Chain A
Amino acid sequence: MRRITSAINPASAEFKTRAARNRARVAEFREMQRAARDDRPERDIRRLEKHGKMRPRERLELLLDPGTPFLELSSLAANTEYDGESPGASIITGLGIVSGREVIIHADDSSVKGGAWYPLSVKKIVRCLDIALENHLPVIHLCDSAGGFLPMQNQVFADRYMAGRIFRNQCLLSKAGIKQLALVFGQCTAGGAYVPGLSDYNVIVRGTGAVFLGGPPLVKAATGEEVTAEELGGAEMHTSVSGTCDYPAETEEEAIAIGREIVQQWEKPKKWECQRDDPVPPHYDPQDLYGILPDDIKKGFDMREVIARIVDGSRFHEYQPDYGTTLVCGFANIWGWKVGVLGNNGVLFNDSALKGAHFIELCNQNNTPLVFLQNITGYMIGREYEREGITKDGAKMIMAMTCSHVPKFTVMCNGSFGAGNYGMCGRAFDGRFMFAWPNSQIGVMGGEQAANTLADVKAAQMKRNGEEVDDTVLEALRETTGKAYMEQLSAYYATSHLWDDGIIDPVDTRNALGMAITSALNAPLGTPGYGVLRL
Chain B
Amino acid sequence: MKLKLRLNGTPHEMDIAALKPDLELRIDGRGHALRETGGTGALRHARIDGEDITYHQARSGNRAFLHLGGRTWIVEFVDPRDAAREKVQGSGDIRAPMPGVVVSVEKQPGDPVTAGDTILTIESMKLQTNLTAERDGVLAEILKSEGDVFEKGAIVARLQEEEDGDA
Contacts and interface: CB of A to CB of B under 8 A. Distances in A.
Interface string B6-38: 000000000000000000000000000000000
Given A349-B98, A380-B98, A384-B152, A300 B126 contact: no
Contacts of A417: 126
A299 B130 CA distance: 9
Interface string B56-72: 00000000000000000
B128 interface: yes
B128 A299 contact: yes
B124 A347 contact: yes
B125 A381 contact: yes
Given A2-B79, A380-B98, A446 B126 contact: yes
Contacts of A449: 126
A381 B99 CA distance: 10
Contacts of B79: 2
Interface string A441-462: 0000010110000000000000
A2 B127 contact: no
Interface in B83-102: 98-99
B125 A298 contact: no
A382 B153 CA distance: 14
A346 interface: yes
Given A2-B81, A347-B98, A378 B125 contact: yes
Pick from B79, B81, B124, B127 the residue with the most CB of A within 10 Å: B127
A377 interface: yes
B152 A377 contact: no
Contacts of B123: 298
Chain A: interface residue count, which band? 20 to 34
Chain B: interface residue count, which band? 10 to 19
A346 B127 contact: yes
Contacts, number: 36
A441 B99 CA distance: 24
A382 B127 contact: no
A300 B152 contact: no
A297 B130 CA distance: 15
A448 B125 CA distance: 12
A297 B99 CA distance: 20
Interface in A412-454: 415, 417, 446, 448-449
Interface string B116-127: 100000011111
A415 B127 CA distance: 10
A380 B124 CA distance: 9
Interface in A276-303: 297-300
A377 B126 contact: yes
Contact of A300 (B98, B116, B127): B127
Interface string A369-390: 0000000011011101000000
A298 B98 contact: no
Contacts of A382: 99
A463 to B, nearest CB: 27
Contacts of B99: 382
A449 to B, nearest CB: 7
Contacts of B126: 297-298, 377-378, 415, 417, 446, 448-449
Nearest to A326: B97
A449 B124 CA distance: 13
Nearest to B123: A298
A237 B116 CA distance: 76
A523 to B, nearest CB: 37
A300 B125 contact: no
B130 A347 contact: no
B79 to A, nearest CB: 7
A362 to B, nearest CB: 20
Contacts of B124: 347
Interface string B145-162: 000000010000000000
B127 A377 contact: yes
Nearest to B79: A2
A347 B129 CA distance: 10
B117 to A, nearest CB: 12
A36 to B, nearest CB: 32
A380 to B, nearest CB: 6
Interface in A322-358: 346-347, 349
Interface in B44-59: none
A121 B126 CA distance: 36
Nearest to B116: A7
27 contacts: A2-B79, A2-B81, A7-B116, A297-B126, A298-B123, A298-B126, A298-B128, A299-B128, A300-B127, A300-B129, A346-B127, A346-B129, A347-B98, A347-B124, A349-B98, A377-B125, A377-B127, A378-B125, A380-B98, A380-B125, A381-B125, A382-B99, A384-B152, A415-B126, A446-B126, A448-B126, A449-B126
User: Shortest 4 CB-CB distances between A and B: which pairs?
Assistant: A377-B126, A347-B125, A446-B126, A377-B127
Given A298-B127, A347-B98, 9 more contacts: A298-B126, A298-B128, A300-B128, A300-B129, A347-B125, A349-B98, A377-B127, A378-B126, A384-B152
